[in-house]
């Protein structure tokens, strides 16, 4: 009986996950294989459309760009935070977490005020004489990426701070005593040991940005449609539930594939892995 005690304790949580997470996803994907035109007809229709392929590619571009920028900004910020003294470190962590206390829609609306033609940034550029006419910064791919980076960098920082704090100082000092330059120590010691945190942060940012709806809808609109907004349109405007389920299934497959690929990269790059 004791041998199976752990399984019995985990059974309620496993049942909840199966009922409220796994089964709905399986049911959603299952609806895409019931078409009379053919078992893979919805997928053939999706990938046969140049517009839908462009939406998928745009979503991947935005997600990958957001992930790359968040990795750089988050890593540098987390490194500074991890090396700061106690009180300053607490203040910096609070500053990093503070944006998370505000809803996604509110933070996205803030960028509407900043990037609008009569917004703060255009007013500043006109005021200092950089331009006489406001730039069209809204409803572009760049505006969506900027807002997404702002949304997800705090997650990257929080993920990396704990990893960087746990790097033994003795290892860093040993690297310096053996003649490594600060840049060499960073490249050969700190960066490899931070790989697990980088991978976890990258997975969080990529999955969040790839499946995002509110921010692309507000800052990208119809011009910069992504998979999340396309799925909403198919389900709630066109009432094409099979088409929406097909988009959801493609997003699930891509997300799982990216997570598995990043996990494999982490095992290869992590020097502590066995």
Instruction: Please give the Cα distance from 245 to 25 (Å, whole number).
Output: 9
What is the DSSP code string of 158-208?
Answer: HHHHHHHHTS-HHHHHHHHHTT--HHHHIIIIIHHHTHHHHHHHHHHHHHH
pLDDT at residue 272 is higher than 60: no
Highest mean pLDDT among 87-91, 176-180, 265-269: 87-91
Please report the pLDDT score of residue 144 as a whole number: 93
Domains parsed from the chain with CATH numbers? 40-269 (1.10.3720.10)
Please report the pLDDT score of residue 2 as a whole number: 63
Residue 166's pLDDT band (cuts 50, 70, 90) = confident
Please report the pLDDT score of residue 224 as a whole number: 87
Whether this prediction's pTM lies above 0.95 is answered by: no
pLDDT at residue 57 is higher than 50: yes
Average pLDDT, the chain: 86
- What pLDDT, in 10s, does the model give residues 119-151? 888 888 888 888 888 888 888 899 999 999 999
């Amino acid at each position: 009986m004791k041998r199976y005690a752990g399984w019995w304790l985990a059974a309620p949580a496993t049942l909840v996950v199966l009922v409220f997470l796994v089964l709905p996803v399986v049911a959603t994907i299952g609806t895409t294989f019931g078409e009379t035109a053919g078992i893979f007809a919805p997928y053939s229709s999706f990938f046969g459309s140049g517009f839908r392929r462009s939406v998928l590619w745009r979503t991947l571009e935005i997600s990958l760009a957001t992930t790359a920028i968040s990795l750089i900004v988050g890593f540098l910020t987390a490194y500074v935070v991890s090396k700061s003294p106690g009180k300053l470190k607490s203040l910096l962590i609070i500053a990093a977490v503070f944006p998370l206390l505000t809803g996604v829609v509110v933070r996205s609306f803030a960028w509407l005020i900043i990037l609008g033609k009569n917004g703060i940034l255009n007013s500043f550029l006109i005021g200092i004489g950089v331009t006489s006419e406001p730039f069209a910064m809204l409803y572009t791919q760049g505006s969506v990426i900027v807002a997404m980076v702002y949304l997800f960098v705090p997650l990257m920082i929080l993920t990396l701070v704990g990893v960087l704090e746990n790097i033994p100082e003795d290892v860093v000092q040993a690297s310096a005593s053996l003649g490594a330059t600060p840049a060499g120590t960073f490249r050969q010691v700190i960066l490899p040991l931070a790989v697990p945190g980088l991978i976890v942060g990258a997975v969080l940012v990529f999955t969040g940005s790839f499946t995002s709806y509110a921010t692309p809808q507000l800052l990208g609109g119809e011009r910069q449609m992504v998979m999340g907004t396309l799925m909403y349109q198919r389900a709630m405007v066109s009432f094409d539930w099979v088409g929406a389920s097909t988009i959801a299934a493609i997003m699930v497959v891509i997300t799982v594939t990216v997570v598995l690929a990043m996990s494999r990269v982490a095992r290869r790059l992590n020097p502590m892995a066995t």
